[in-house]
Amino acid sequence: MNIIMLLYPRLTQLDLTGPFEVFARLPDVTIILAAKSLDPVTDSGGLRLLPTHTLTNAPQADILFVPGGPGQLDLMDDTEVLDFLRAQAAGAGYVTSVCTGSLVLAAAGLLKGYRATCHWMSLEQLALFGCTPCDDRVVVDRNRVTGGGVTSGIDFALHLAALLFNQERAERIQLSMEYDPAPPFSSGHPNSADPAIVEAMRARASGLQEKRWAAARAAAARLGKG
């Protein structure tokens, strides 16, 4: 089973490495880190990741996965990446993402008519692509499986592991990772966080979010003309 995980500059590494840790504990899988070249890819925090394949020599994916991050903006009109995702999705058993990776799938036209989720600050942008935004941590709609923001990647991957194998296998992986979250604060989602903190976060991210909305509208317009 080939799991292709897309690498690109300025991704959020935990969007990728959280699911990677779960996938690496599955039997009989090959994890492929695909990028435009084999050069190291630097994430948004400075961590360098090594691709295993280029987009041109990656095999057919059984599972196609796209992480999110600030670099998602550049992918919204990246023809090479979007064409790669379309081609891989055509033969993949599951097409998946975490965080704003779902916006990249949407820009490729791969979420039209599906329910999906995204990071809470960008969730509504999915509607521009004929997708139904869902404010759930993990959303499964037929063979589309999407996770919310960043840390939801582990939850997403455990859900997918149960779909691919069974719940017992997923539970064993969860136990092996000692994945038993006990966050010190009730501040992980706008529904539970102090409203003042939510507004401060929105204000701090307003510049990036304006760019994300602009990129999403432009990508949706291009799809509409295609």
Could you identify the residue written with the tokens 């991050």? 69
Q: Across the beta sheet with 94-98, what order do the strands follow? A: 53-54, 30-35, 2-6, 63-66, 94-98, 144-147, 138-141
In sign, the C-alpha dihedral spanning 44, 46, 52, 55 is: positive
Contact (Cβ atoms closer than 8 angstroms) between residue 75 and residue 99: no
Choice among 99, 118, 131, 134 that is catalytic? 99
Q: Which residues pair with 97 in a beta bridge?
A: 66, 146
Q: Is position 99 annotated as part of the catalytic site? A: yes
- 8 vs 74: CA distance, rounded Å: 9
Tell me which residues are annotated as active site: 99
